[in-house]
Homo-oligomer: A and B are copies of this chain.
């Protein structure tokens, strides 16, 4: 299941029809899709959305959720980031799979991705940045740190969640690493002090071209979060 990015030439998208991602640069969910495409060496076009004035294409291609990211491939639109990551894995099979082969390890990967998705989420983070200092924010921090510690325990001293190979859980979780700095600044805490292995894992993931190219600078995310705090009336 090794994913040597050097071996995969970014030409598969062209061979397999046009690939477009309806994107918002700070969306951790959209980052998953871009990482997955880059891991597979698929060329794609990014169409940046204004989330306060969504395009007709976004509304038409994701009528149920009306959310980014949407993956458009050969004029078929696929919503929902984890559905997209699995679709990408099953469509571009020339590159290594994001999943191990045995059913038990696959179940483990799905379990932890589901756990990460439900806890280390935009909504989870919003309990920290979306509140002023006080009881609600403390509750949000506590939940966030507790969940991250469960993931830290699962990671242990492995390189990636699946072992030596970057895979499904890593793709699903690492986008949130780019939001840690903003959460730390808003919540006045240190993720590294609480979960040193998770931070070391995040740094390791960012060494991959696919992740580095898909994650924005932490400072830029923080500035975006400050804007969100104004929009949501936090400050």
Footprint of B on A, CB under 8 Å? 64, 76, 78-80, 82-84, 86-87, 90-91, 103-104, 106-107, 110-111, 114-115, 150
Cα–Cα distance between A219 and B56 once the two chains are bound (Å): 47
**Are B115 and A83 in contact, CB atoms less than 8 angstroms apart?**
no
Q: Measured between alpha carbons, how far is A83 from B82 in the docked complex, in Å?
A: 14
Copies of the polypeptide in the assembly: 2
* The 8 residue pairs across chains A and B that have the minimum distance between CB atoms: A90-B103, A87-B107, A91-B103, A83-B110, A78-B107, A83-B111, A83-B107, A87-B103
What B residues does A103 contact at CB under 8 A? 87, 90-91
User: Whose C-beta in chain B lies nearest to the C-beta of A115?
Assistant: B64
The answer to whether residues A83 and B150 also contact, given A76-B104, A90-B106, A91-B103 and a CB cut-off of 8 A, is no
CA of A87 to CA of B80 in the docked complex: distance in angstroms?
22
B150 touches A80 (CB 8 A): no
Closest CB-CB distance, A113 to chain B, in whole Å?
9
How far is A114 from B64 in the complex, measured between Cα atoms in Å?
12
Considering only CB atoms, which chain B residue lies closest to A147 in the complex? B64
Nearest CB in chain B to that of A76: its residue: B104
Give the docked Cα–Cα distance between A213 and B77 (Å): 37
Cβ contact of A150, chosen from B64, B86, B90, B114, cutoff 8 A: B64
Interface centre among A79, A80, A91, A103 (most CB of B within 10 A): A103
Residues of B within 8 A of A106 (CB): 86-87, 90
Query: How far does the alpha carbon of A104 sit from the alpha carbon of B80 in the complex, in Å?
Result: 13
A111 to B64: give the CA distance in the assembly, Å.
Answer: 10
